[in-house]
Structure 1
Amino acid sequence: MTEQMIYSVEGESQALKQAVASAQATFKFFWREMSWEARRIVKCLDMAAVKMSFMLDPDDPDIPVVENMWVSDIDFDGKTITGVLMNEPRWATAFKAGDPVSLPFAALNDWMFVLDGRVYGGFTVDALRSSMADDERAGHDAAWGLDFGEPGSVELVPAAEGQAPLRLSRALSSEADQQLLAYLEQGDHPMALNMREKLEEALQQYPGMITDFDDDGWLLLHREVLAGNYPVVQALLRHGADPLAANSIGQTSQVLAREAGWPRIARLLQGEGADEPEPSEAKGFSLRPVGLVLVAVALAWLYFLVVVPVNSARAGQAVEVAGKLDFMAAVLILSSGALCSNGAGYFKLRQRTPQWGASRALDIGAMLAALLVACALHDQVQRYVIGH
């Protein structure tokens, strides 16, 4: 970034105020793109940043009350934007380039990402470019080295291959703008569509993806709802994710969808009929067959541990009952197999229990219950054999 990318004003023009409002209204598209950029091993974006308004309290009347500066390495939790300051401040001397910063969403002034030299977003930049003479605007664009498109309009997302760019007016005020916004909200990121089968495989193999909270106290469902990734949210719900579970700051997925402005996801979370067909059954490896095998093995083992000695005792034959460890192992294998076969309800309940170290309270309780059942079963068989 260059110095001219910092815009510090005391009283913004109506055009700039309108641009800020449009940037805040469409930030969700920026955040959706960031969610997929974070997944890419090889990054695609040339640049991604937000412009934030830093409030000042100057004694000097010549110093503005706000300094707007660009911030990169963005994170967002639905309320607060954090990142790293890209510019050396002119007036906000408490900061310097490279400092971590954290500001409420209301301080968002603009957003912008660049793909193959083409700018998406940049509402306030467009407002400034539109006020420039042709030669001044050409110099501005050359200094940035980017393609901003025609002044007076912006793009929010890259167009599909072979399609014309989807440009909106900066104010988002026309009927055509609203129709295009509704169209974009109904659409999905190409990566979300392309990864459907792999996602199904992953959710089947690793159910903890659905139920485990991350280090910040968020479920994967919370992250994907905030990012507006409808196909991912749809898959998570189908595998038992709980839309009523709250994250560490008390937001449920329904609250996040509503506040972020994803009405289609909000309807999905409320169970109002998915408007997307479910993908065909994934071709990947499923835990269900493994679970069924474990159940079969455990039942066969329990047959020899329980039924065989009981029948032998009834027949008057001398018999020795296996040890408690054998009973415990068989019952634990049976429990594990049952969960692998059809454990969505268990995992849905599991996420509501406290975290104890690397495990959930429900995990520990279930294991203790299985061990108690195994011990009780062993003692019953032992007493029966001794009594006969």
Structure 2
Amino acid sequence: MGIFGKLFGNKNEKEESNEEKEIFYAQQDDKMEDAYLKAQQNFKYFWRELYWEYRRIVPAQDLAIVKIPFKQKVNELEDPIVEHMWINEINFDGEKINGVLMNAPNELTNVAIGDSVSVVLDEISDWMLAIQGKTYGGYTIQVLRSNMSEKERKNHDNAWGLDFGDFNDIQVVFEQKEHPENLLEHPMAKNMAEQAREFFKENPNEIEVIDENGNNMLHRESIAGNKTTIDILLELGADKTMKNKKGKTAFDYAKQMNWEHIVDAVDN
């Protein structure tokens, strides 16, 4: 059975453990609340990696998913039912995270597997990437793993078919330990700098082409935190005062995403 079958298959299958079910029902304790916050704060790394993944000819990622709490009010006297479930096919425009619900709810009736979903960043409860079998992010999962015995963790990881590493040392970017500079700049941004410069020189109109949200290339690169590309765009005349449909500039997104290394470059 493939990774998606193991994670999001029939919930009655014998191989699914109680720990796996708990992944979809995040506990409301201090550790989980902290996990939610860290996932939101570090979502920028998830999006930067996915942003580059969409440009690759050969995919590098095994998995790219975001966890969201879905709610349904049953009646006025009881608290709403909440299920934390995963979405994939992620896109992000600096305002909304869009995706598709991957698994069928246990109790909720107001959403179904395959539904399109759109939320703001501070509504997510987790995100996780898997590259070459190793996970990045997965904060709520690591909280659950921290409460398991060594044997339980091994069984859990085998069920996912992934290397979750040390729950006390959560990585957020590929080869973070070997290349800590990857936290600052994605290696593809540096490796493709000359190709990018030549492309924009030959296709200057692409610099200011806007998408359906009014974002131009400088907006999108600022959301993803790619300073190398931003420097090239500015060198070739990109307008950093341009506002999108929300009235925001590239600077606004650099600040909003807390990309400290590019804020000065796009400051008006």
Q: Same fold (TM over 0.5)?
A: yes
Establish whether residue 270 from structure 1 lines up as the match of residue 267 from structure 2.
yes
Q: Does 1:145 align with 2:166?
A: no
- The Cα of 1:66 is off from its aligned counterpart by 2.1
Amino acid at match of 1:248: K
* Alignment match of 2:224 (pick from 213, 223, 227): 227
Residues 1-388 of structure 1 mapped to structure 2, 5 A cutoff: 1-2=7-8, 3=11, 4=20, 6-9=23-26, 12-59=28-75, 65-159=81-175, 164=178, 185=183, 187-270=184-267
Contact 1:155 1:165 in 2 (8 A): no
Q: By how many angstroms is 1:139 displaced?
A: 1.6
Which SS does the other structure have where 1:153 is aligned? coil
TM-fit CA distance, 1:62: 8.2
Deviates most, 89-98 or 227-236: 89-98
Any conservation in 2 of the 1:84–1:100 contact (CA below 8 Å)? yes
Cα shift readout 1:175-212 (whole Å, capped 9, x = no counterpart): xxxxxxxx665x21111011111111111111111122
Residues 127 and 152, structure 1, Cα contact 8 Å, conserved in 2? no
| Separation in 2, partners of 1:211, 1:191 | 22
Distance in structure 2 (CA, Å) of the matches to 1:102 and 1:92 = 17
Report the CA distance shift for 1:184/1:21 in structure 2 as closer, same or farther (over 3 A): farther
In structure 2, C-alpha distance between the alignment counterparts of 1:30 and 1:189, rounded to whole Å: 11
SS in 1 for 2:170: strand
Shift of 1:60: 9.2
The Cα of 1:55 is off from its aligned counterpart by: 2.5
Partners of 1:165 and 1:125 in 2: CA distance? 25
The aligned residue for residue 354 of structure 1 is none
CA distance in 2, matches of 1:210, 1:111: 31
Counting matched residue pairs gives 251
Contact 2:95 2:121 in 1 (8 A): yes
Q: Deviation string for 1:222-271 (max 9, x for gaps)?
A: 11000001101111111111111111222211100000110111111127
Task: Report percent identity of matched pairs.
Answer: 38
SS in 1 for 2:42: helix
How far off its partner does 1:214 sit?
2.3
TM-score (norm 1): 0.61
Tell me how far apart the structure 2 counterparts of residues 165 and 97 of structure 1 sit (CA, whole Å): 38
More helix by share: 1
Deviation at 1:96, TM superposition (A): 1.2
For 1:165 and 1:132, locate their aligned partners in 2 and report how far apart those are by CA, in whole Å: 30
- In structure 2, what is the Cα distance between the partners aligned to 1:256 and 1:194? 24
How big is each residue's C-alpha offset from its partner over 1:257-292, in whole Å with a ceiling of 9 and x where there is no partner?
Answer: 000110111111127xxxxxxxxxxxxxxxxxxxxx
Letter in 1 for 2:233: L
Cα separation, partners in 2 of 1:249 and 1:158, compared to 1, 3 Å? same
Change (3 A) 1:270 1:43: same
Q: Retained in 2: the 8 A contact 1:126–1:153?
A: no
Distance between the aligned counterparts of 2:224 and 2:62, measured in 1? 20
User: Aligned partners of 2:220 and 2:54: how far apart in 1?
Assistant: 12
Over alpha carbons, which structure has the higher Rg?
A: 1
Give structure 2 stretches of 5+ with no counterpart: 1-6, 12-19
Report the aligned-residue RMSD. Answer: 2.1
Q: For the Cα contact (< 8 Å) 1:46–1:113, is it kept in 2?
A: yes
In the alignment, is the contact (CA less than 8 A) between 2:72 and 2:110 conserved in 1? no
Structure 1 segments unaligned to the other structure (5+ residues): 167-182, 272-388
Greater RCO structure (CA 8 Å; 6+ sep): 2
Offset from partner CA, 1:320-346 (integer Å, 9 cap, x none):
xxxxxxxxxxxxxxxxxxxxxxxxxxx
